[in-house]
Amino acid sequence: MSEKFTYDDVSSYTLDADQEAELVASQNECTFMWSTKEGWPVGVIMSYVFYEGYFWLSVSSLRVRVKAVERDPRVSISITSKGSGIDSARALTYKGTCEVLSDHETIDWFLPALAKRLRPGDAEAQKLFYELNNTPNRRVLKITPVKTIGFDGDKMAAATAAASGGQTAT
């Protein structure tokens, strides 16, 4: 007797490496998550640059997440295909460690890179973005991924169709 098909275990619907790279390059927002000193998980939407295998995010040192990740560098980020121009449902979660950087060398390459990513083709908007963010309180969060969890909605849809004789879930 064969097992009934369900959505209880979706771990086999992972993203291939090229799909993961496409999603990371197509999207510019992630949900950045950390733990408060009381142990509560918290997350906010932030823009990112992915460069040399790291995720880089901009934050003011006045934000509580800076002290939180200095206390406990274990973080996660999640990225979805929603709004990215990718037609299929894709999602990624990266567990990682986070460093808080304040050196001018990092800030000086990162802020223009983020401005270019968020304001492509608009040099004036990029310049203004840089000026408004280049303050003494500016910090850069450098996230080193240690585990990747991916989801490919197309693989799940194909498995659903195969298990149900071509029907799809609504």
pLDDT tens per residue across span 41-65: 999 999 999 999 999 999 999 999 9
- Model confidence at 1: pLDDT above 60: no
End-to-end CA distance of the chain: 27
Alpha helices in the chain (DSSP H): 17-26, 64-71, 104-118, 123-133, 153-163
Contact 54, 2 (CB under 8 A): no
* Residue 33, both tokens: 């998550």
pLDDT for 164 equals: 81
pLDDT for 52 equals: 96
Q: Average pLDDT of 1-16? A: 81
Structural fold of domain 17-153: Pnp Oxidase; Chain A (2.30.110)
pLDDT tens per residue across span 95-148: 999 999 999 999 999 999 999 999 999 999 999 999 999 999 999 999 999 999
pLDDT for 168 equals: 60
- Model confidence at 170: pLDDT above 60: no
* Residue 157, both tokens: 């849809």
What pTM was estimated for this model as a whole? 0.90
- Model confidence at 38: pLDDT above 70: yes
Band the pLDDT of 2: cuts 50, 70, 90: low
Return the higher-pLDDT residue of 119 and 9: 119
Cα 137 → chain centroid: 23
Domain boundaries along the sequence of the chain: 17-153
pLDDT for 167 equals: 63
